[in-house]
Structure 1
Amino acid sequence: MKWKDTSILYDVVLINVNFFVKNGYMNFNVDNNLLLVSVNQGNWISLVNYSVLSMMKMNRRKIRKEYIMYDYDKCMRVARIVMEKKNSDYNEAWKAMSFSSIKDIILQKIFRIQGIQRNECLIKKNQNKIKDNYIDILNYAIFILIRNIEESDFSMLL
């Protein structure tokens, strides 16, 4: 598969993730512990949503229901651009990685965010680093969901 195929599968995953979002599957009181719980439970859709919500909180400080779909779509567009750039630069390296390696990278990024946030005086200086980690977490979770699609009956999701 070429990276464009990954973009198509990325869209298929987003359609399914957006179904949960549009049907009220959102916890507005998101924190990094919810991300950890999602990883430990293998709830990758929740991990995508919590990553986006965390990015939205960084942008607005308060998530407002009237802007949620606009903000959600904006964060997902940014994440997709990052995914396409990195996938092109690294020749879809994620496909050669084991499931446990991807999970380990996600956990590492969550712990990195927590470490930065513990040092509050550095947070303003490191806002972009935190946001970049949330984008990476989101994209790796989507890669796991893509793997799940590839291993299941792909036609039932179309």
Structure 2
Amino acid sequence: MKKTHDYGTAWRILRLQSITDQIFIKAQRVRTLEEKKISKVGEDITGEYIGIVNYCVIAMMQLECDSATALELAPDHVGRMFDEKVKETKELMFAKNHDYGEAWRDMRISSLTDLILMKLLRVKQIEDNQGLTLASEGIKANYQDILNYSVFALIKLGVK
């Protein structure tokens, strides 16, 4: 919401594929930092995971907007949309945690990073297929999983 105050809803100009690519860049940077163990720009992976979370929410909001939706949205409207997407995704996380027995707690952060990258490659393929799928979940479900994997990584990193 602070960035909405600073920048407005400039993200509305982005096509969904561009948001996916932004998330991919952040996830790829996390993987590179995990492998090289050194950041030459002084930013750690925590900020990248937070960025992934926010871009996933932005992507889900963008999915609901059509060409008739204004580029500039009121901050209170953005706040409601943001909270709605977070709530939906959190509910999905709790349901999956129940079914999977919180298996993420025993995973390595690097495995969460790899799962995020795999989900992004799936999203890119679905986008290249104009959103058509035969048997898989849609784009939104993948964004939700990516968001939740990022939250798990942040928890494992000790972020409150």
Tell me by how many angstroms 1:41 deviates: 2.5
Aligned partner (choices 87, 90, 96) of residue 106 of structure 2: 96
2:139 is matched with which residue?
Answer: 130
1:110 is matched with which residue?
Answer: 120
TM-score by length of 1: 0.73
1:143 aligns to 2:131 (yes or no): no
**How high is the sequence identity, in percent, across the aligned residues?**
30
1:65 is matched with which residue?
Answer: 73
Which runs of 5 or more structure 1 residues have no equivalent in the other structure? 1-17, 151-156
CA contact (8 A) 1:51 1:135 kept: yes
1:56 aligns to 2:61 (yes or no): yes
Q: Distance in 2 between matches of 1:133 and 1:105?
A: 11
Closer/same/farther in 2, CA of residues 78 and 110 from structure 1, 3 Å limit: same
CA contact (8 A) 1:116 1:126 kept: no
The one-letter amino acid of 1:145's match is L
Normalized per residue, the structure richer in helix is 1
SS in 2 for 1:31: helix
Closer/same/farther in 2, CA of residues 74 and 24 from structure 1, 3 Å limit: farther
Number of corresponding residues: 132
Q: Which moved more, 1:27-36 or 1:125-134?
A: 125-134
Q: Distance in 1 between matches of 2:131 and 2:93?
A: 30
1:43-97 residue CA offsets vs partner (Å, 9 max, x unmatched): 0011001101111111123564212111100000000000000011111011111
Closer/same/farther in 2, CA of residues 64 and 85 from structure 1, 3 Å limit: farther
2:33 is matched with which residue?
Answer: none
1:40 aligns to 2:28 (yes or no): yes
TM-score by length of 2: 0.72
SS in 1 for 2:101: coil
